[in-house]
Amino acid sequence: MSEVEKTFVQAVNDTLASAMRQDARVIVLGEDVAEGGPYTVTAGLAQEFGTGRVLNTPISEGAVCGVAIGAAQAGLRPVLEIMFIDFLTLALDQLVNQAAKAHYMSGGQLSVPLVLRTQGGCGQRSGAQHSQSLEAWLVHVPGLKVVMPSGAADAAGLLASAIADPNPVVFVENKALYFRRQPAPDPPESVPLGRARTVRPGTHVTIVATSRLVGDSLQAAQRLEGEGIEAEVIDPRTLVPLDIETIAASVRRTGRLVVAHEAVALGGFGGELVARVQEAAFECLEAPIQRVGAPFTPVPVSPPLEDRYRPDADDVYRAARTAIEWDWPAARASERNVLSASPSGR
């Protein structure tokens, strides 16, 4: 196995092609997938595998999701593309009430080996209906696995595992990552679902970030390093199942935690992560957990407003500084009390 520089798009495309070559049951369907889709993720697949396995569908997310679920229950392994995560709202009845429940409600007789690929995230001036981060809705549904890769290598490896999984997996990509290059295994190598990755080791504060915010957190960590603060950056990679053990072990060592995601902070996955960490490592926390997320408003289309709205490395840096400095005032107050009680006042 070797490594080559790939974009996120190339990594996903290569993994789809590899899976389709290895297993004739794997099919791809969605709006304009035979033409490559809006970001060329499926480009070339129809030419290699034919339109019988790369199927363009009508613009009806609910119907297409239902077809994919039926195909999965009939023995195929469909990879369904929903063009924008915002449009997933139209497919939630099928995804939540059928795909996620079939195995349980059939007493284990049915399985739904479905991968639903979709992409979210802002920063492209696409407006409030094409820029959301809605992964928290999906995490709330028992029966769904939720994956959020932050780079090309993990996108390839996690997608390979998702396609092989017997359960429905929602694979959430971020459009801002699509054309960033990164070394990735060639051919694609599976990455287990439910295993976090420590992207950068550190001792003073733990930063847990998802998707695009992983790269921003690394930028923040580099800035903190220049100030003598070593930040550990962890990418959960999958939200369900969640590798809480790796995250909690880090927090037990550092005593401080920042949780960062692009989604709106209110009701976001970060809140669940905070609760889980407090259950697992409360006695080790030396400061309140800091959260980084978007403000509670629709995504603006105005470039200056969208830039202000979008969480970034500066937000992660400020949150980490807050966590580090939390007990400094208390320490200074304690020092003043000791000094005032001394005979010299010094």
The counts of H helices and E strands in the chain are 13, 14
Cα angle 31-129-51, degrees, rounded to a multiple of 5: 5
pLDDT of residue 167: 95
83 and 162 within one domain: yes
Are 170 and 204 contacting, i.e. CB atoms less than 8 angstroms apart? no
Asked whether residue 346 is domain-assigned, the answer is: no
134 and 53 within one domain: yes
Asked whether residue 288 is domain-assigned, the answer is: yes
- Phi, psi of 164, rounded to the nearest 5 degrees: -80, -15
Among 31, 81, 103, 130, the one annotated catalytic: 130
200/218 Cα distance (integer angstroms) = 8
Asked whether residue 336 is domain-assigned, the answer is: no
Q: Which amino acid is at 20?
A: M
254 and 139 within one domain: no
Which tokens sit at 55? 């199927």
pLDDT of residue 98: 97
94 and 182 within one domain: yes
pLDDT of residue 35: 95
223 and 146 within one domain: no
236/226 Cα distance (integer angstroms) = 26
Give yes or no: 130 in active site: yes
52/63 Cα distance (integer angstroms) = 18
Which of 110, 44, 101 is CA-nearest to residue 75? Answer: 110
Single out the residue in 186, 207, 223 at which a domain terminates. 186
Among 31, 61, 81, 232, the one annotated catalytic: 61
DSSP annotation string for 38-83: TTSTTTTHHHHH-TTTEEE--S-HHHHHHHHHHHHHTT-EEEEEES
Asked whether residue 319 is domain-assigned, the answer is: yes
Per-residue pLDDT of the chain (346 residues; tens, 9 = 90+): 678 899 999 999 999 999 999 999 999 999 999 999 989 999 999 999 999 999 999 999 999 999 999 999 999 999 999 999 999 999 999 999 999 999 999 999 999 999 999 999 999 899 999 999 999 999 999 999 999 999 999 999 999 999 999 999 999 999 999 999 988 887 778 899 999 999 999 999 999 999 999 999 999 999 999 999 999 999 999 999 999 999 999 999 999 999 999 999 999 999 999 999 999 999 999 999 999 999 999 999 999 999 999 999 999 999 999 999 997 655 444 444 443 443 433 3
Question: Buried (b) or exposed (e) across 226-238, using 16+ Cβ within 10 A?
Answer: eeebebbbbbbbb
Write the CB contacts of 106 (distance below 8 Å, at least 6 apart in sequence): none
Asked whether residue 334 is domain-assigned, the answer is: no
What is the domain-level CATH number for residue 264? 3.40.50.920
67 and 28 within one domain: yes
What is the domain-level CATH number for residue 82? 3.40.50.970
277 and 129 within one domain: no
For residue 277, give Cα distances in angstroms to 68, 251, 264, 272, 321. 36, 8, 20, 9, 20
- What is the distance, to the nearest Å, from the Cα of residue 198 to the centroid of all Cα atoms in its chain? 15
Q: Which domain holds residue 133?
A: 2-186
203 and 176 within one domain: no
165 and 309 within one domain: no
137 and 213 within one domain: no
Single out the residue in 154, 186, 218 at which a domain terminates. 186
Average pLDDT, the chain: 93
When computed from its CA atoms, the radius of gyration of the chain, rounded to whole angstroms, is 22
Are 292 and 242 contacting, i.e. CB atoms less than 8 angstroms apart? no
Give yes or no: 140 in active site: no
304 and 160 within one domain: no
Asked whether residue 203 is domain-assigned, the answer is: yes
Q: If residue 14 lies in a helix (H) or strand (E), which one and from where to where?
A: helix 8-22
pLDDT of residue 116: 98
Asked whether residue 330 is domain-assigned, the answer is: no
Single out the residue in 151, 186, 221 at which a domain terminates. 186
Are 58 and 33 contacting, i.e. CB atoms less than 8 angstroms apart? no
73/220 Cα distance (integer angstroms) = 45
Are 103 and 143 contacting, i.e. CB atoms less than 8 angstroms apart? yes
Write the CB contacts of 310 (distance below 8 Å, at least 6 apart in sequence): 122, 123, 262, 294
pLDDT of residue 328: 65
pLDDT of residue 196: 98
180 and 139 within one domain: yes
Total domains in the fold of the chain: 2
Q: What is the pLDDT of residues 203-242, one digit of tens each?
A: 999 999 999 999 999 999 999 999 999 999 999 999 999 9
